[in-house]
Structure 1
């Protein structure tokens, strides 16, 4: 796909990977709308993009609600005149032992990480079909490929998002709408600010710009998926498939330190 002049909606676009994606799309000549829950952060993001010489349309809405999804899509279509690329990037996380996690926080993850992208994609499909050359990008997580302790619900919803994308890609094949899944590894974003786990616990961090560039490369190439983490992640994925007990033992040794390091990891 040639990204120039494509009309792009990025949820959760005011910071982190979403903001880096907005910068990358604009640099390629796309027209971009970003959405976020907080008016101040959306305004700051739009101002930063404008300061860089490339403007984007900001939308203040919560895609975890039906009203927010309707407002996001309606405003994006009005501002862009249609839609060619939908990036389901908005997400939230709460780490910790399952039995210690409040129901409200579990449901919040399910709503924003899984329900919201499914329903927003459904509602956007008429506009995407009208494009004739459209892409849906679902931003999942490396934890969807290798489940980590203390992230059970987050792993579940991100894995669910990945399989949603795979199934929808096959459902829409030949109909002018492609679906791609991105699996970021640890990324230096505000969402990770309260996570104290480092590389020794499997949480290396790369710049959000590197993830964004890889996602755009995947879109341009028509890829099915983009997996970050390099050879080390590829080895872990293969080992998790062929000998999951080895991963279990490796994580057992890390559990005490990991539990302490992620107990305050929350971004909902």
Structure 2
């Protein structure tokens, strides 16, 4: 089954910048009608303007998907404005890199809540509407934005990596739970992407951070969705090699990563977007 985008109602979290903003524009170019949500209204309004320039239609519903009332409100708004909900994109995320013992408890909990708990609960809230709109011709869909760190674990991203692996496994399990019921689930695993979330990360190609544009990730997301893909992996060759190495010979992988550990910590210890 493929997932039609044109004319369909899409709810997109974290739509104020980065991959979320680029995805909104890409969906708009393909005729989707968008409900944009995030914590701050002004960036969402800017995204809505870009959507309209691209020929799309958007409404802005500012809110924090960590809050139960906001989750219910944003789903209701999508259904009321566009007559239903066809696609949910769980894109909002937060990161705090560094040594685990150097993190505050609230920094750990924020990553767990934003990256894992909130998208699971938002999906639960949205499922009745998605089920109603999933049909024989084109399925409804849930898209989970994971991370390359959800495939290959790296030091100093223990909590972030756990949340991104968790949302990926959630997606895989939910896909099988909903198989044949009109709702498709796709995971996407971006690598390092040129977004505001990465502004405080000083790691470059020498440490394995090969950056791409949010527009490239957004295009891959929407094209993968339309093609009915199960998983979309960016930086696939390097990422797959790292993941395979971690599974097949984890001790060797540990030793390879250890050789750059000090430089990596210096580059990412200030990486924070909460």
Give, in angstroms, the shift of residue 2 of structure 1.
2.4
Give unmatched runs, 5+ long, in structure 2. none
- In the aligned structure 2, how far is the partner of 1:4 from the partner of 1:45? 19
2:28–2:55 contact (8 Å) kept in structure 1: no
Q: CA–CA distance in 1 between the matches of 2:177 and 2:109?
A: 28
Which residue of 212, 235, 255 maps to 1:249?
A: 255
Give distance in 2, aligned partners of 1:249 and 1:117: 35
Aligned with 1:200 (options 191, 206, 209): 206
Q: Deviations over 1:74-108 (max 9, x none)?
A: 22222221111000000100111000100001000
Query: Which residue does 2:23 correspond to in 1?
Result: 21
For residues 15 and 204 of structure 1, the distance between their equivalents in structure 2, rounded to whole angstroms, comes to: 20
Q: CA deviation at 1:125?
A: 0.5
SS at match of 2:5: coil
Residue number among 210, 218, 224 corresponding to 1:218 in the alignment? 224
Match of 1:231 in 2: 237
In the other structure, the counterpart of 1:8 is 10
Partner SS state of residue 6, structure 2: coil
Q: 2:141: which partner in 1?
A: 135
How far does residue 53 in structure 1 lie from its aligned partner after superposition?
Answer: 3.8
Q: What is the CA–CA distance in structure 1 between the aligned matches of 2:200 and 2:70, rounded to whole Å? A: 26
Q: State how far apart, in whole Å, the 2-side matches of 1:55 and 1:212 are.
A: 18
Choose the corresponding residue for 1:261, options 235, 242, 267.
Answer: 267
Aligned to 1:101: 103
* Equivalence map 1:69-88=2 (5 Å): 69-88=71-90
Pairwise CA distance, 1:223: 1.1
- 1:52-63 equivalence runs, <5 A: 52-63=54-65
* Offset at residue 62 of structure 1 (A): 0.4
- Paired positions, count: 268
For residues 161 and 42 of structure 2, the distance between their equivalents in structure 1, rounded to whole angstroms, comes to 30
Q: Partners of 2:57 and 2:140 in 1: how far apart?
A: 22
Matched with 1:162 is 168
Q: In the alignment, is the contact (CA less than 8 A) between 2:26 and 2:219 conserved in 1?
A: yes
In structure 1, C-alpha distance between the alignment counterparts of 2:69 and 2:251, rounded to whole Å:
44
TM-score by length of structure 2 reads: 0.95
Indicate the RMSD between aligned Cα atoms, in angstroms.
1.1
Please give the residue correspondences for 1:153-192 in structure 2 after superposition, counting only pairs within 5 Å.
Answer: 153-192=159-198
Distance in 2 separating the partners of 1:264 and 1:53: 39
Mapped partners of 1:253, 1:68: distance in 2: 45
Displacement of 1:3 after TM fit? 1.4
Aligned to 2:119, which of 107, 111, 117?
A: 117
1:234 deviation in Å?
2.1
